[in-house]
Amino acid sequence: MTHDGSDPAIEARGVRKVFETFERAPGLLGIVKNFVAREKVEITALDDVDLVVHPGETVGLIGANGAGKTTLVKVLTGIVPASSGVARLLGEDSFHLRDAEKRRLALVMGQKSQLWWDLPPIDSFQLLREIYSIDPADFDARLEQYTEMLDVKDRLKIQLRQLSLGQRMKMEIIGAFLHDPDVVFLDEPTIGLDLVSRETIRQFLVHLAETRGVTFVLTSHDLEDIEETCRRIVVLDAGRVAFDGDLATLSRQVTGKRAVEIHVDPHTQVDEARVATEIAPLGAEISGRTAGALTVVVDAERLAELVPVLFATLDVRDVSVERQPLEHLVKEIYRRSDRAGAGLRPARGRRQT
Amino acid sequence: MSAGAARYPRLLLQSVGYEFRKRIQFRTGFFVREAINGTVEPLIMLFVFGALYASASAGTDGAPAVLGGWRYEEIIKYCAGLMVVRKLVFNNRGLELASEIFEGRITKYLVMPFRFFVLLQGRFVQYLVMQVLVAGLVWALGYAIAGDRWLVPVSFSAAAQAFTLVLLGSYCCFLLFFTINALAFWLDVVWSLLVMAWFVISFAGGGTIPVSQMPEPLFRVLSYGFPYWTITAPIELMMGRLGTEAFQRGLLLLLVQLGLLEALRRAVWRRGLAKYVGAGM
C-alpha cells in the first residue's frame, strides 16, 4: 500500500483522554458517605495514542470492550476534546472543526440512530440535504443508487422506528453518505445484524472505498467486517495502540490461529498435563477448560496434525474448529508484543500505505 | 449575504416542518398536549376568585368588591386572557434537550455542519405557530360562549402590542429553558429545576393571580422581570388597563433580558460541550 504523500486525513499525536467520575461506595453507610464527600476517580480511556491515516486508507479499529475504540472515534471526530495531545481531522483541530471540514465528515453509530426516530427516512434525508447543502440532482442520484445497492428503496417512506434493525442501519449508512463525505467513521455498524445484512453493508462500504476513495475508520467486534472492508488494522487495548499494521501481517502472525474445542465425557478425568505435553511440539496450547470441553489454540496450518493427536490422547465425543475469538486475538497480540517487542508493532505514525 | 446566512432561513423552515410532523403524528397526544393543556388552571382561578369576591361583597352592602384594584368582572376577563396568552408562552414541553444530552442523542448533531441551536429554534417556531392557531381557536370559542364577558381587546393596536410582548417573553422563556436543559451536561436534577422554573415563571408572570393585584412591594419587584411582561402586562394591555407607555417600557425590559439570556445560553452551551462525554455511543 502506498499513499501519495498528501496530508493525513486523520492524525493523533500523543492523544490522552481522561474521564472524571465519582466512585460510589455500596450500602447505607456508603450512601451517607457519598452524600457528604464523594470520591473522584479518573479513568484513562486513551493513553498516548498515535495514529496517522492518509486519504483513501481503510482502517479497522479493534479491541475488547473498554479498550478505547469509541473514545478514540469521539476524540477524532471532535465530539469530545482530548485531555492532552493533538487530534486533527483534515488538517484541523478535531474539537474545533469548521463547517467546511464537517461537510467532509460522516459518522455512523451502530448503537445510536443518526436519523430521526419519529420520521420516515426520506424526511430525515431531506433535512440532511439542507444541513449539508447537497445539490438536489446529486441528492436524488445518490439516494437512488444507495437505496438500490442496499435494497431499501421501498422502505423510504416508512417511519424509522417501524423498520427492522438491518433496514434501519442501512438507512443510517445511506444518510451518512448522501453528502459524499471524504472521511467516514463507522462505530460498530453491523452490531446485531443478520449475516445477509452484514454482507450487504460490507459490500457497500468496499464499493465506496474503491470507487470514491473514501477514508474509513471502522470499529467492530466482528473480525469479518474488518477483514472484508479494511486493509489496515489498529488494535487498542487499555487505551493504548497495541498493533498498527496491515491486515496481511496480522493474519499471518495472529489470525492464522484456530481454536479447537474438544468435547469429552464430563465424568471422565482429563489429564491436562499429558494433553499439554502431547500437543506442545505442534505449537498448540490449552486456552480454556470446562467440565465437558477443552479448548486448544493452534496455528491453522498445523490443525491437521493436531486433530489426530487429540483423538489419540482423549476420549473425544465431538470437535469444533473456529477462528480465534477477538479477545484471544487481542491477548495474543499483547503476549507476542511483550515477547517480540517491536517485531509485531510496525512504527506507528510513520506508516507508508 | 454569506452562504451560511442564506442557508439559515431554509434550515429553520425545514426544521419547523420536521417538528410539525413530529408533533401532529399522534392525534390524541396532540389534542392533550397542544389543545387542552393550560386551560384548567384559569378555570380553577375563576372559581377561587368567585368565592373570594362573593365573600368580600357580603360586607359592602351589595356594592361590587374591589380587591387589589381589580373587580370580579375584570378578573373574569383576566382569566379569559390567561387561557389564551398562556398557550403562547413557551414551556419546556417539547424541548427535550436535557434527555438528548443525557442519552447522548445530540452526538449526531455535533459532527454536522450547522448550529444545533437552529433545530431548537425550529421547535420554538413550530410551537409558536401551532399555539397561535390553538390560542385563536380558544379565544373564538370563548367569545362564542361568553360573549362580552370574555376578553375582547380594546383596540387592534393594544392587541398587537400585547402579541409583541408575549412573543418576546415567550422567546425569553425558551432561552431560559434551553439554558436549564443545558445544565444536563453537569447535573442530573434538571427535570426538578425545570419544574421549579416553570412554577416561578408562572407565579411571577401572573399565572396564579394578576401581578398588579399582589402587594405593592412585590409588584414593584416583579414588574422588572420578563414573566410579568409576558403574561400579566399583555392581558392588561388588551383590557385597556395599561397603555402605550407601559408597552414601550416592557419592550425595552424584554429586549434587555432577552440579550442577557442569550449570552447566558451561549456561555452555558459552550462550557457544557467541553464536558460532554457522548454517552451511549
DSSP 8-state secondary structure symbol assigned to residue B68: T
Stretch (H or E) spanning B67: strand B66-67
B105-146 pLDDT, tens digit each: 888 889 999 888 998 999 899 889 988 998 999 899 999 998
Can you tell me the mean pLDDT for A230-251? 83
Closest CA to B161 of B82, B247, B230, B239: B247
Closest CA to B33 of B85, B91, B117: B91
Taking the model in full, what pTM does it have?
0.80
DSSP 8-state secondary structure symbol assigned to residue A74: H
Answer whether residue B67 shows pLDDT above 90.
no
Q: Is B242:B236 a contact under the CB 8 Å cutoff? A: yes
Beta strand ranges found along chain A (DSSP E): 10-23, 39-53, 58-62, 84-89, 92-93, 105-109, 183-187, 215-219, 232-237, 240-246, 257-264, 285-290, 293-299, 316-323
Stretch (H or E) spanning B71: strand B70-71
Contacts of B117 in chain A (CB under 8 A): none
Interface-testing mutation among B112, B117, B186, B187, with chain A (most A C-beta atoms within 10 A): B112
B221-270 pLDDT, tens digit each: 999 999 999 999 999 999 999 999 999 999 999 999 999 999 999 999 99
Q: Is B162:B241 a contact under the CB 8 Å cutoff? A: no
Answer whether residue A251 shows pLDDT above 70.
no
Highest mean pLDDT among A21-25, A88-92, A255-259: A88-92
Can you tell me the mean pLDDT for A295-316? 88
- Distance from A276 to chain B by nearest Cα, in Å? 42
Q: For residue A84, what pLDDT is reported?
A: 94
> Measured between alpha carbons, how far is B117 from B269 in angstroms, rounded to an integer?
10
Contacts of B22 in chain A (CB under 8 A): 116, 118-119
Q: For residue A334, what pLDDT is reported?
A: 60
Q: For residue A188, what pLDDT is reported?
A: 86
B143-165 pLDDT, tens digit each: 999 888 899 999 999 999 999 99
- The residue ranking higher by pLDDT, B215 or A268, is B215
A170-186 pLDDT, tens digit each: 999 999 999 999 999 99
Q: Is B271 an 8 Å CB contact of chain A? A: no
Q: For residue A249, what pLDDT is reported?
A: 72
Grid coordinates representing A259 are 481454536
Contacts of B187 in chain A (CB under 8 A): none
Answer whether residue A341 shows pLDDT above 70.
no
Report in angstroms the alpha-carbon separations of B129 from B13, B19, B20, B149.
12, 11, 10, 27
Can you tell me the mean pLDDT for A115-119? 81
Q: For residue A330, what pLDDT is reported?
A: 60
Query: Where is average pLDDT lowest: A18-27, A147-156, A193-202, B81-90?
Result: A18-27
> Measured between alpha carbons, how far is A183 from B274 in angstroms, rounded to an integer?
23
Grid look-up 491477548 returns A331
Answer whether residue A237 shows pLDDT above 70.
yes
Give CA A263 to chain center in angstroms: 31
Yes or no, beta carbons of B112 and A131 under 8 Å apart? yes
Angle at B146 between CA B140 and CA B150, to 5 degrees: 70
- Distance from B31 to chain A by nearest Cα, in Å? 18
Contacts of B280 in chain A (CB under 8 A): 111-112
Q: For residue A335, what pLDDT is reported?
A: 64
Q: For residue B2, what pLDDT is reported?
A: 61
Please report how the helices B116-146 and B156-182 are oriented relative to each other, as an axis angle in degrees rounded to 10.
140
Q: Which residues lie across from A339 on neighbouring strands?
A: none
| DSSP string for residues in B124-137 | HHHHHHHHHHHHHH
Closest CA to A223 of A185, A184, A254: A254
Q: Is B159:B153 a contact under the CB 8 Å cutoff? A: yes
Yes or no, beta carbons of B3 and A111 under 8 Å apart? no
Contacts of A105 in chain B (CB under 8 A): 111
> Measured between alpha carbons, how far is A170 from A114 in angstroms, rounded to an integer?
11
Confidence class for position B1, pLDDT limits 50, 70, 90: low
B188-214 pLDDT, tens digit each: 889 899 999 999 999 999 998 999 999
> Measured between alpha carbons, how far is A48 from A349 in angstroms, rounded to an integer?
12
Closest CA to A64 of A352, A332, A342: A332
- Distance from B178 to chain A by nearest Cα, in Å? 20
Q: Is A132 an 8 Å CB contact of chain B? A: yes
Answer whether residue A107 shows pLDDT above 70.
yes
Confidence class for position A342, pLDDT limits 50, 70, 90: very low
A313-338 pLDDT, tens digit each: 888 888 888 776 555 666 666 666 55
Closest CA to B206 of B86, B124, B118: B86
- The residue ranking higher by pLDDT, A188 or B250, is B250
Chain B, 4 to 43: residues with Cβ < 8 Å from chain A are 4, 7, 10-11, 14-15, 18, 21-22, 25
A154-185 as b/e, with b when 16 or more CB fall inside 10 Å? ebbeeebeebeebbbbbbbbbbbbbbbbbbbb
Chain B, 199 to 238: residues with Cβ < 8 Å from chain A are none
Highest mean pLDDT among A123-127, B30-34, B266-270: B266-270
Query: Where is average pLDDT lowest: A20-34, A216-230, B134-148?
Result: A20-34
Q: Which residues lie across from A62 on neighbouring strands?
A: A235
Closest CA to A11 of A346, A351, A238: A351
B36-50 pLDDT, tens digit each: 777 788 888 888 888
- Distance from B88 to chain A by nearest Cα, in Å? 25
State the average pLDDT for chain A: 83
A73-102 pLDDT, tens digit each: 999 999 999 999 999 999 999 999 998 999
- CA neighbours within 13 Å on the CB side: how many for B119? 22
What is residue B189's three-state secondary structure? coil
Please report how the helices A303-313 and A272-279 are oriented relative to each other, as an axis angle in degrees rounded to 10.
150
